[in-house]
């Protein structure tokens, strides 16, 4: 089983000096912790973000591996978004970030 720290380290490596998102992003991992991305900073802090994505750690890993489509995850209730409009506008940038995590 992949740990929160292992996923956080993969996100940090993918983000590098700057996530390229232009907004802060938080993954609320449904009781398994948080991953907060703001520019080039990646932490496990539960602090406010422009966009919060609530998803299980297992589903985040599936999305990162390209095995779970974000739209299908949202439609099935496996992914919740704090701001759908912002999520849609960031989709290409988030896709690029996920691609760097693989």
* 8 vs 11: CA distance, rounded Å: 5
> What is the phi/psi pair of residue 99, to 5°?
-65, -35
What pLDDT score was predicted for residue 9? 94
Please provide the average confidence, as pLDDT, over all residues in the chain.
92
pLDDT of residue 40: 94
Per-residue three-class SS string for 43-88: ECCCCCCCEEEEECHHHHHHHHCCCCCHHHHHHCCCEEECCHHHHH
Q: What is the pLDDT along the chain (102 residues), one digit of tens a residue?
A: 789 999 999 999 999 999 899 999 999 999 999 999 999 999 999 999 999 999 999 999 888 888 988 889 999 999 999 999 999 999 899 888 888 877
What is the pTM (predicted TM-score) of this model? Answer: 0.92
- Sign of dihedral through CA atoms 44, 54, 94, 9? positive
Q: What is the pLDDT of residue 89?
A: 93
* pLDDT value for 53: 96
**pLDDT computed for residue 78 by the predictor:** 96
What size, in residues, is the chain? 102
């Amino acid at each position: 089983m992949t740990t929160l720290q292992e996923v956080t380290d993969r996100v940090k490596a993918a983000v590098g000096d700057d996530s390229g998102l232009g907004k802060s992003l938080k993954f609320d991992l449904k009781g398994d912790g948080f991953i907060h991305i703001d520019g080039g900073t990646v932490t496990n802090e539960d602090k406010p973000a422009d966009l919060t994505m609530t998803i299980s750690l297992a589903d985040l890993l599936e999305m990162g591996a390209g095995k779970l489509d974000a739209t299908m995850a949202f439609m099935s209730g496996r992914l919740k978004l704090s701001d759908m409009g912002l999520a849609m506008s960031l989709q290409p940038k988030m896709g690029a970030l996920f691609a760097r995590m693989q």
